[in-house]
Structure 1
């Protein structure tokens, strides 16, 4: 079970118990009404609707559905995204208290479920998204929650502890297959600089080179040994755990 500390627990019947298959991120919605009105509606079995969280203009936070369970907020997006409804109407901005409360939920989802502190603009993304990004598969609500709230997502992410641009502070792991001989990328140049800072860039030809070369596996293996990898585990091939710990700046 996952219930957010500080949120008022208001369980509703409209949900699928144990149905949350993954958490790619959180989806922002607008209620087209009030927090208390939505609270009442989600208790009506005929509504066939719910959300994980609701945020009032005064900053109150209701949690209606445990994040282990699937809320009924964005159709095909329900299985892999958490949902936050906001008191108000499309075209309105979140109040300062609403924005701060939403940032608290995002920060909690980041700590509890690994939601990246970054913008998401498609169902294939991860981070802080919005209802309309799912198109017809998510119910066709392309105007939800409205442009003003969409534009406040970077401020929400910053308040939750992320970058003010809405981009991740550190480069996400690009996958082991990315690191092939001759691959050129600013990501590799940024990686070299971090290996230098950690005292592990002993074999690469240049600290500023943007190409993955023959010495890079040995340099990365030195970083893996620095982390405590032993034997064949220090193979010089970047993996998600060692990459996250290297903290390569976002490029």
Structure 2
């Protein structure tokens, strides 16, 4: 069985494929366009032809409807390769703090059980934390699901999942962004300082071999771009607040 501890197990008897999960490439975020209770009822209606592995409520509920060995019916061609999370709310919403925690818990569990990498992806053939609209027409053409505000929260979900895996207390925040853009300056003296050193240490911890010397050179810039690409950020080699936070 692949049922997540901590999630309320509320199995459905229709609208899924027993044993149909071929692989698990990652976790996909959805928005319900409704309530948790209404979605639960809809998934139990044979006419719906729809389901999801997990669902969150805005006040922090976490339900599991489908075992992750089985295929839920929620994202077209992506069904047999991705775990799905439906989130209570409507288009344009952000996830609540409690929903961010529940999504992070699912991602951390998927990392442990299904070897899902703790990274963002916008590629239906990629791996990590994705979102419904990234699949385009092949995934049902739901271009507004879950919406840009939730897509922008993917980085925060990954940060929280990493803290869960590391056993780090929730109140242990990464160092504050130093307030200046860290970047490689072509034809000028390199930026240097304690904040550059801290960033180089973060890159090394994130898996990018970087000399921790406090000087923002070509290697530091190249590894920054690699991290930005992995975390689905703008790939410019510049450490702003979003890139800084993604390093921890």
TM-score (norm 2): 0.67
Q: In the TM superposition, what is the alpha-carbon distance from 1:56 to its structure 2 partner?
A: 0.3
The match for 1:100 is 101
Contact 1:118 1:168 in 2 (8 A): no
The match for 1:184 is none
Q: In the TM superposition, what is the alpha-carbon distance from 1:134 to its structure 2 partner?
A: 0.2
The match for 2:30 is 29
**Which aligned pairs between 1:12-51 and structure 2 lie closer than 5 A?**
12=12, 13-51=14-52
SS at structure 2 position matched to 1:160:
helix
The match for 1:10 is 10
Q: In the TM superposition, what is the alpha-carbon distance from 1:14 to its structure 2 partner?
A: 1.2
Q: Distance in 2 between matches of 1:25 and 1:168?
A: 24
Q: In the TM superposition, what is the alpha-carbon distance from 1:90 to its structure 2 partner?
A: 1.1
Q: In the TM superposition, what is the alpha-carbon distance from 1:159 to its structure 2 partner?
A: 0.4
The match for 2:194 is none
**Which aligned pairs between 1:43-192 and structure 2 lie closer than 5 A?**
43-161=44-162, 170-171=206-207, 190=209
SS at structure 2 position matched to 1:128:
strand
Contact 1:117 1:168 in 2 (8 A): no
Contact 1:17 1:69 in 2 (8 A): yes
Q: In the TM superposition, what is the alpha-carbon distance from 1:144 to its structure 2 partner?
A: 0.2
For structure 2, the residue ranges without an aligned partner over 5 or more in a row are 167-173, 175-202, 212-218, 220-246
Q: How many residues are treated as equivalent by the alignment? A: 176
Cα distance change of structure 1 residues 22 and 89 upon mapping to structure 2, 3 Å threshold: same
4+ aligned runs moved over 4 Å, structure 1: 167-171
Q: CA RMSD in A?
A: 2.3
Q: Distance in 2 between matches of 1:3 and 1:89?
A: 27
Q: Distance in 1 between matches of 2:146 and 2:4?
A: 23
Cα distance change of structure 1 residues 130 and 169 upon mapping to structure 2, 3 Å threshold: farther
Deviations, residues 39-96 of structure 1 (Å, cap 9, x unaligned): 0000001000000000000110010000000000000000100000000001110011
TM-score (norm 1): 0.66
Cα distance change of structure 1 residues 154 and 48 upon mapping to structure 2, 3 Å threshold: same
For structure 1, the residue ranges without an aligned partner over 5 or more in a row are 172-186, 194-207, 209-249
